Structure 1
Amino acid sequence: MNILLTGGAGFIGRWVAKRLLDEGYNLWVLDDLSNGREENLTEIINHPGFKQFIKGSILDESLLSSLFDAHRFEICYHLGASINVQDSIDEPRTTFNNDTIGTFYVLEQCRKYNTKVVFMSTCMVYDRCNDETGIDENHPTKPASPYAGSKIGAENMVLSYYYAYGLPTVVIRPFNTYGPFQKTGGEGGVVAIFIKNELEGKTLNIYGEGTQTRDLLYVEDCARFVVSAGFDDRVNGEIVNAGLGRDISVNDLALLIAGDSSKILHVPHIHPQSEIQKLLCNYGKAKHLLGWEPQISLEEGIQRTRKWIVEGGLA
C-alpha cells in the first residue's frame, strides 16, 4: 500500500511515519520544513518502506499532481499545516493559505484517485469545557484565532468531499500532544519547554494566571490513533477526538516538572483572547469506533520526554 504523509518531518508526523513503516507500508513524506525538520527522519529514512522525502509545499498543485499521478496513494495522512496560534494572529494569510487552501488542493488530488484522507485538525477549534465529562465531538466550536478558523474551514471541506463525492475522509482532533522530538522552544511544546528550562536551571514561565488546563496526550498514543483512523471505515465521514481524558492546570504541570514553586514565574499572556481556559477530552468515540484509548500516563510521558532531552534530543 502506498501512503502519502504531509507534514511528515514534523513532531507528530515523525511518529506517524515511524508507525506506518513499522507496520510495513510504502511511505512518501512531503514537508516544506517551515515547521518540521529533516533530522526528525534520520532514524527512519533508511527503512526499506521509506520511499522518498520531498521538500515541497501542499500549495504546489503541480507537485501534488505529479506525486499522485506517479504513486496513486491509497491513503493520505494530511498533517501539513501552519500550527502557531500567535503567528496566525500576527499574519493570518499564511495560516489560511496553508491550512485551508492547501487542504483543498490535497482533497482535489485525493478525489482523482479515491484516496482516503485523514485530516489532522486540533482541539483548539473547541470552546472551553464546562464540566468533567469532557469535550466530545458535539461540543461547540469557537474560532478564537485565525488558526482555529482555518482548521474549521478545512474540516468542513474535508467532510464535504465525503458527502458530495463519497470520498472516504475523517477529521481527527488530537488534544495537546507532547513527547520526544517536540521542539523545546516556541509554541505548543509546553511540556518540552518546561523540562528543558528545569534541566538548565531556568525559570518556568507561565502565561497568565496558569489556571488554564490542558489535556496532554503522549505522542506515541497520538500516532497510534492517527494511523488507526486511516484503516477503519467506521470513522469515514466522522470527526473523532483523542486525548488522555485527564486535564491538568499549567500551574500544576509546572510544579510537577520543576518540583519547586520558586522556579515558576507568571508572565503576561501573549494572546489571552485566544486562550481556552479548560481543555479536557472525551475520547469515547475513538474508543467505540477504533478501539483506541491512551496507554501512557502523564507522569510516564513526562519521564520519557525528560530522558530524551537529557540524552541529547533535538533542541
Structure 2
Amino acid sequence: MEKGILLTGGGGFIGSHLAEGLLKKYPDERLIILDDLSTGKIENIPKSPNVNFIKGSITDRNLIEDIFRSFKITKVFHLAAVASVQKSVEEPEYTHKVNFDGTLYLLEESKKYNVDKFIFASSAAVYGDLEDLPKREDMPVKPLTPYAVDKYSSERYVLNYYHLYGLKTVALRFFNVFGERQDPSSPYSGVLSIFIDKIKRFQNGENTKIIIFGDGKQTRDFIYVKDVIKALILVSELEETNGEVYNLGLGKETSLLEILEILEEYVPELPPVEFAPARKGDIKHSRADISKIKSIGFEPDYSLEEGLKRLLRYEKVILKEKEKV
C-alpha cells in the first residue's frame, strides 16, 4: 500500500502553502489533499504528479474511511474548517459538523490505522476577550463563538488522543496569518488582504476607501504564512511536541493605524480612510507569547514588514520608486 500524507483544506489559503511546503520537504511522499472547495480554490492546489486531490468533505465519514483504507497515511495535517466566525454564529449546527465532527472522524481513523502524527490547526480565538497579554498556552480560555468553542473542543480531543490512546498529536493556535492567496472577499479574510485589495482597486481608478471599525488602535499579532508552514512542519517532526499545544504568531502587537503607516512607506498614495463604529464582539488587543514554540527551535524568518512587502509585490501593487528594487 502506498504511503501518503493527508492534508485537509489544501485548497485554502494556508493549506495551499502547506501543500507546497510538504511537496518540497517530502519529495518522495504521496500528498493526498482533501477539500470540498467551499472556500478553497482548485487553482491553489499545486500541480504535481505526487498530489492526489479528492473533492469531498471531512464530514463524509465513509469517504474518510475510504482514504485511510486506500493509503498508508503517515501524517495528517488537519486544516479544513468553516473558517468564518460570522458563519458559525449564523449556522452553528453546520459549523459544528465540520469543525468538530470532522476532526473526530479524522482522529478515529488516525488512531485505528496508527498514523505517525496528527497536526491540528487551532486558533487564537479560543482566548476570547480575556485581557491579559501576551497570551500563553497555560492561560484560561474563553471561546465566545461557535467557531471558537469548536476549535477549543477539537483541540482538547486532539491532545487527549495522545494521552488516552497514544496517537501522537499536536495543535497550533494560529494568530493573524497573512500572505499570498488570502481571499479579500472571504468573510474571514485578514485585514491586511482587505487593505491591500482596497489599495489595488484605488490604483485602478476605483472610488474606494479603507474602512476601519473602531479607532484603529486595536492590535493584532500578524504572522506571515511561510512562517506558519515552517512551524507546522517542525512540530510534525519532533517527539517532544506530542500532546502539546503551541501559540503561533510573531509575538508582537501591531495596530491597524501602524499597518497603514507601514503601507504608506511603500505605496505612493493610500485610499481615503473612513472610521466606522466598532463591531460587536471584536477583540481590542491580541499578542501571542511564543516562548514555548521557540523553545523547540522555531524562529520566524519574516518580520511583518518583510511579509507585507512580499505580499504587495505578489499582488502587483504599484510601489514607490525606492521600493521597486
TM-score (norm 2): 0.89
Query: How many angstroms does 1:277 deviate by?
Result: 1.5
The answer to whether the Cα contact below 8 Å between 1:114 and 1:168 also exists between their aligned partners in 2 is no
CA 1:254–1:92: 2 relative to 1, 3 Å = farther
Q: Secondary structure at the match of 2:14?
A: helix
Corresponding residue for residue 169 of structure 1: 169
Q: In 1, distance between residues paired with 2:295 and 2:273?
A: 40
The answer to whether the Cα contact below 8 Å between 1:283 and 1:293 also exists between their aligned partners in 2 is no
Corresponding residue for residue 194 of structure 2: 193
Corresponding residue for residue 217 of structure 2: 211
After TM superposition, which residue ranges in structure 1, 4 or more long, deviate above 6 angstroms? 259-262
TM-score (norm 1): 0.91
Code of the residue aligned with 1:196 in structure 2: it is D
Q: Deviations over 1:112-147 (max 9, x none)?
A: 112121010011111446466x21211221111111
Q: Secondary structure at the match of 2:309?
A: helix
Larger radius of gyration: 2
Corresponding residue for residue 222 of structure 1: 228
Q: In 2, distance between residues paired with 1:98 and 1:258?
A: 40
Code of the residue aligned with 2:167 in structure 1: it is L
Q: In 1, distance between residues paired with 2:66 and 2:197?
A: 42
Q: In 2, distance between residues paired with 1:108 and 1:228?
A: 24
Corresponding residue for residue 295 of structure 1: 301
Unpaired segments ≥5 residues, structure 1: none
Query: How many angstroms does 1:225 deviate by?
Result: 0.6
The answer to whether the Cα contact below 8 Å between 1:129 and 1:280 also exists between their aligned partners in 2 is no
Corresponding residue for residue 232 of structure 1: 238
Q: In 2, distance between residues paired with 1:237 and 1:288?
A: 16
Corresponding residue for residue 252 of structure 1: 258
Query: How many angstroms does 1:234 deviate by?
Result: 0.7
Corresponding residue for residue 283 of structure 1: 290
Q: In 2, distance between residues paired with 1:129 and 1:60?
A: 36
The answer to whether the Cα contact below 8 Å between 1:205 and 1:266 also exists between their aligned partners in 2 is yes
CA 1:34–1:146: 2 relative to 1, 3 Å = same
Corresponding residue for residue 19 of structure 1: 21
The answer to whether the Cα contact below 8 Å between 2:199 and 2:271 also exists between their aligned partners in 1 is no
1:95 matches 2:102: no
Code of the residue aligned with 2:30 in structure 1: it is N
CA 1:17–1:277: 2 relative to 1, 3 Å = same
Q: Secondary structure at the match of 1:136?
A: coil
- How many residues are treated as equivalent by the alignment? 304
Q: What is the RMSD computed on CA atoms of the aligned residues?
A: 1.9
Range that drifts further, 201-210 or 214-223: 201-210
Query: How many angstroms does 1:264 deviate by?
Result: 1.3
Corresponding residue for residue 205 of structure 2: none
Corresponding residue for residue 11 of structure 2: 9
The answer to whether the Cα contact below 8 Å between 1:11 and 1:181 also exists between their aligned partners in 2 is yes
